[in-house]
């Protein structure tokens, strides 16, 4: 088997994240091919070898999977990389994710543990309360587009005018913004040349409140009067309501949504969302679970796993806008939240005051550094780190507290598996684990693990 060779085969299973496994009898070996679905017969080319394993690039789907029993629900499937599995029944998506979690965790977890399966999202479609759309073109020198990356492409952008992962309000806003700039003949930012104006459209919408925050992200290379755009947005017929329109300046060379300067074009720079009866103020860049209804399922599991904490101090590390802290505060002695994003910490403090919670303390800073300064000692720790998990230097510090129980929430199961190996080596055992499908139609899933100190 060599690079450039073309094969045909059937995807026997899909491992996380999105790795289709194909057996080639004539070579007696397995090949990993991304962007496929279990049961599809595909044609692919070998494009690299990694640690002795062969990886292929999908060229063509020759036969649909027997699992593909539904029609696509949007116009850019399957070319779009935003979601993968919308033609597969939701129950089959859940089964596939359960298999992915078990194959990873059964290898790393020492001894027996209880796996409680994957809980479904209360909403399969229209669940996302946040979406980052990119400006670009669908093909080189094509007309301006606004939406999501073409599957497997870093540059091509497909206009997502009927995306089903978000509420219809977001689609109407996207179409309005795209048409406005097409008429004005404004160019998008070209990443390789570092030239251009339009970068991203960041939309956030409260699922329970209907409040919408619109953020247009551009470079400072051009100046445009954006008031007419704001007026057009405010005249849209929406189910929810726009509470703020922002112009965010971002001259960073990297392709991330961030702010060098934020200008309020209209309204305010925040919106509100409600979770389990609590109200949360959310700013453009503060972390909040992207599936509000799924977050309620997730936090109920956290409450159950953490048990009786009436006289205990809880550390909520990587606390974001303080949602978990405030969900746990009514049944704890004290909760200390640590978060590196300053605006998220300010929002967390405001949220706690708004919800009448006085036993929460929020600290801004890197977990690795902040732990040296905190006077309190935790009885229980909740970890909800970013996708790549906990920094290798921070994890030993966390484990040095020697608490009885740790709840670890992870949006990337391979990061959780890596960190669980370290946690178990420090004298902990995995008691039980479950997952919540916060990201329907996609490769991702939120996994919750309860680990306890071995007596």
Annotated catalytic sites, by residue?
411
Dihedral sign, CA of 7, 11, 15, 17?
positive
Task: Spell out the alpha helix ranges (H) of 38-167.
Answer: 90-108
DSSP 144-193: EEEEEEBTT-SS-EEE-TT-SSB-HHHHHHHHHHHHHHHHHTPPBPBTTT
Dihedral sign, CA of 403, 407, 410, 415?
positive
**Is-contact 385 317, C-beta < 8 A?**
yes
Q: What is the DSSP letter of 230?
A: H
Rounded CA separation 325/316 (Å): 6
Three-class SS of 308-374: CCCCCEEEEECCCCCHHHHHHHHHCCEEEEEECCHHHHHHHHHHHHHCCCCCEEEEECCHHHHCCCC
Rounded CA separation 164/71 (Å): 13
Tokens representing 155 are 């540059």
Crossing angle for the helix pair 90-108 and 413-425, to the nearest 10 degrees: 30
């Amino acid at each position: 088997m060599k690079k450039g060779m073309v094969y045909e085969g059937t995807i026997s299973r899909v491992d996380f994240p999105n790795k289709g496994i194909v057996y080639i009898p004539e070579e007696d070996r397995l090949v990993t091919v991304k962007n496929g679905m279990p049961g599809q017969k595909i044609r692919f080319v070998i494009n690299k070898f990694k640690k002795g394993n062969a990886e292929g690039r999908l060229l063509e789907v020759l036969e649909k999977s027997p699992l593909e029993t539904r029609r696509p629900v949007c116009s850019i499937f399957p070319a779009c990389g935003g979601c993968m599995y919308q033609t597969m029944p939701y129950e089959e998506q859940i089964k596939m994710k359960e298999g992915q979690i078990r194959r990873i965790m059964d290898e790393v977890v020492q001894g027996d543990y209880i796996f409680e399966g994957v809980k479904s999202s209360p909403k399969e479609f229209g669940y996302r309360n946040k979406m980052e759309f990119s400006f670009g073109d669908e093909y080189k020198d094509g007309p301006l587009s606004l939406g999501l990356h073409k599957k497997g492409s870093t540059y091509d952008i497909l206009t997502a005018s009927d995306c089903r992962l978000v509420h219809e309000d977001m689609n109407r806003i996207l179409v309005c913004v795209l048409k406005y700039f097409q008429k004005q003949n404004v160019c998008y930012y070209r990443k390789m040349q570092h030239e251009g104006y339009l970068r991203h459209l960041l939309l956030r919408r409260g699922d329970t409140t209907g409040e919408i925050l619109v953020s247009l992200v551009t470079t400072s290379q051009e100046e445009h009067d954006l008031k007419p755009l704001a007026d057009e947005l405010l005249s849209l017929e929406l189910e929810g309501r726009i509470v703020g329109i922002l112009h965010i300046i971002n001259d960073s060379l990297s392709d991330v949504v961030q702010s060098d300067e934020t200008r309020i074009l209209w309204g305010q720079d925040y919106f509100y969302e409600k979770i389990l009866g609590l109200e949360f103020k959310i700013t453009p860049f503060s972390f909040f679970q992207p599936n509000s209804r799924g977050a309620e399922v997730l936090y109920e599991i956290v409450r159950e796993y953490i048990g009786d904490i009436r006289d205990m101090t809880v550390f909520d590390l990587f606390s974001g806008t303080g949602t978990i802290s405030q969900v746990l505060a009514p049944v704890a002695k004290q909760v200390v939240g640590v978060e590196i994003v300053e605006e998220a910490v300010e929002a967390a403090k405001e949220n706690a005051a708004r919800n009448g919670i006085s036993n929460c303390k929020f600290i801004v800073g890197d977990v690795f550094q902040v732990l040296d300064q905190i006077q309190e000692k935790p009885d229980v720790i909740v970890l909800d780190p970013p996708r790549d998990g906990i920094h290798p230097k921070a994890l030993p510090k966390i484990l040095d507290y020697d608490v009885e129980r740790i709840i670890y929430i992870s949006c990337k199961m391979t990061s959780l598996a890596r960190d669980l190996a370290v946690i178990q080596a420090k004298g902990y055992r995995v008691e039980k684990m479950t997952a919540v499908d916060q990201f329907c139609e996609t490769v991702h899933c939120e996994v919750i693990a309860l680990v306890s100190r071995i007596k």
